[in-house]
Amino acid sequence: MNEPTSTVSMTVNGASVQREIATRLSLVDFLRETLRLTGTHVGCEHGICGACSVLLDGDPVRACLMFAVQADGHAITTVEGLAAPDGTMSVLQDSFCETHGLQCGYCTPGMLIAAHALLEQNARPSTGQIRDAISGNLCRCTGYQQIVDAIQLAAQRRGDAVSLAAQRGGDAVSIAAQRAGDATR
Ligand code: FES
Ligand code: FES
């Protein structure tokens, strides 16, 4: 008997993707095996560990608990999509390196996805809010403290970058206004 198939179309890390797939294919297997985006890990395969977390339209979801066809028409971001197109790590990813927020690394993609979603909604989370945001992601190595440290460091760095950009923007406006004033004299 032939296995039922479906056509899915979605955006994955900013790129449009369309494939004919087995209708029963899970989203995590679609990402890893069909698209070869192996940064998303598979752990428990029943929604407990968080290793398979990806963003669906910006919200973290368990890719092991979804069929790929359920993501049809949506935007998926995997851990690969958190880095710049040239592979440069994001501030968050770099902060995990800086604070030793990983050991074996198996939980790390899911942790990064959970942390990214948190920082997009709450630029200055408290320690309790960080712990709450990653509470659905299991790590058997780090004891979690370095992961919390990493997310706090990333929040601080992102905040500093925004302040610097605002300051530079303000400086640029001042210089432009001054030049405009000089030109009318
Ligand atoms: S593999 Fe999906 S939650 Fe564990
Ligand atoms: S670093 Fe090994 S499971 Fe988290």
Could you write out the DSSP letters of every residue in 79-135? Answer: GGGGS-TT-PPPHHHHHHHHTT--SS-SSHHHHHHHHHHHHHH-SS--HHHHHHHTT
Query: Of 81, 103, 134, which residue constitutes the final position of a domain?
Result: 81
- Shared domain for 43 and 113, answered yes or no, is no
What pLDDT score was predicted for residue 67?
A: 98
Alpha-carbon distances of 153 from 18, 64, 93, 97, rounded to whole Å: 38, 30, 11, 11
Q: Residue 19 is part of which domain span?
A: 5-81
Q: Is the CB of 66 under 6 A from ligand 1?
A: no
What pLDDT score was predicted for residue 169?
A: 73
CB 117 within 8 A of CB 81: no
Q: Is the CB of 107 under 6 A from ligand 2?
A: yes
What pLDDT score was predicted for residue 52?
A: 98
Tens of pLDDT, residues 117-163: 999 999 999 999 999 999 999 999 999 999 999 999 999 999 987 77
Give the confidence band of 167 by pLDDT, cuts at 50, 70, 90: confident
What ligand is nearest to the CA atom of residue 49?
A: 1
What ligand is nearest to the CA atom of residue 51?
A: 1
Query: Of 81, 115, 141, which residue constitutes the final position of a domain?
Result: 81
In a domain, 177, yes or no: yes
Q: In this structure, what CATH number is given to the domain that contains residue 13? A: 3.10.20.30
- 27, 29, 64, 140, best to mutate for ligand 1 pocket (most atoms within 8 Å of CB): 64
DSSP 3-state of 21: strand
CB 119 within 8 A of CB 82: no
- 46, 56, 108, 135, best to mutate for ligand 1 pocket (most atoms within 8 Å of CB): 46
What pLDDT score was predicted for residue 184?
A: 62
Give the confidence band of 16 by pLDDT, cuts at 50, 70, 90: very high
Tens of pLDDT, residues 33-90: 999 999 999 999 999 999 999 999 999 999 999 999 999 999 999 999 999 999 999 9
Say if residue 114's pLDDT is above 80. Answer: yes
Give the confidence band of 174 by pLDDT, cuts at 50, 70, 90: low
Q: In this structure, what CATH number is given to the domain that contains residue 106? A: 1.10.150.120
What pLDDT score was predicted for residue 2?
A: 85
Say if residue 182's pLDDT is above 80. Answer: no
Say if residue 170's pLDDT is above 90. Answer: no
Specify the residue with its C-alpha closest to ligand 1, atom 3: 47
Please give the distance, rounded to the nearest whole angstrom, from the Cα atom of residue 105 to the centre of ligand 2: 5
Kindly state the percentage of the chain with pLDDT values over 90: 84
Please give the distance, rounded to the nearest whole angstrom, from the Cα atom of residue 143 to the centre of ligand 2: 9
Q: Is the CB of 105 under 6 A from ligand 2?
A: yes
- Shared domain for 104 and 178, answered yes or no, is yes
CB 92 within 8 A of CB 105: no
In a domain, 110, yes or no: yes
Alpha-carbon distances of 35 from 12, 45, 151, rounded to whole Å: 9, 19, 29
What ligand is nearest to the CA atom of residue 44?
A: 1
